[in-house]
Amino acid sequence: MVYIDLAPTELISESLNRSEGSLTNTGALLVETGSRSGRSPNDRFIVDEPSTSEFIEWGEVNRPFSEENFNALWTKVENHLSKNDSFRSHLHVGATLNITFQLRSIRRLLGRACLDEICL
């Protein structure tokens, strides 16, 4: 099942129902992510495409990734997500309402979806 744009209270409730988190004595959601919760710097993908290519400082950290490779990888991700529940949020980030960036977060685990909703 795909859950779309759940409110933070719904994300927390669902996380508790699935035993993916617990509440602290202050009422905050506690999620233990395990030992492999960080992202490897080598797992960074920046698609080299015409509308943004000239604005990226390409180099050791920002390595170009072709649109073709991205599309192939995205197909694998969507296939994997289709086999499990997923949580999708349409979010906005930015310093002000005039300067915002729209993004879509797709998560398999609720703890990460809660973090996206709260931090972004």
Cβ-proximal residues to 11 (8 Å cutoff; 6+ apart), any chain? 87, 110, 113, 114, 117
More confident residue, 42 or 85: 85
Global confidence as pTM: 0.68
The reported pLDDT for the residue numbered 34 is: 72
Please give the Cα distance from 11 to 17 (Å, whole number).
Answer: 10
Is the separation of the CB atoms in 31 and 15 below 8 Å?
A: yes
Half-sphere exposure of 7 (CA within 13 A, CB side): 2
The reported pLDDT for the residue numbered 37 is: 61
The reported pLDDT for the residue numbered 71 is: 93
Is residue 117 predicted with pLDDT exceeding 70? no
pLDDT digit string, tens, across residues 65-110: 999 999 999 899 889 888 988 888 888 888 777 888 888 888 877 7
The CATH class of 2-32+41-119 is alpha beta
pLDDT digit string, tens, across residues 50-68: 988 899 999 888 889 999 9
Please give the Cα distance from 7 to 89 (Å, whole number).
Answer: 9
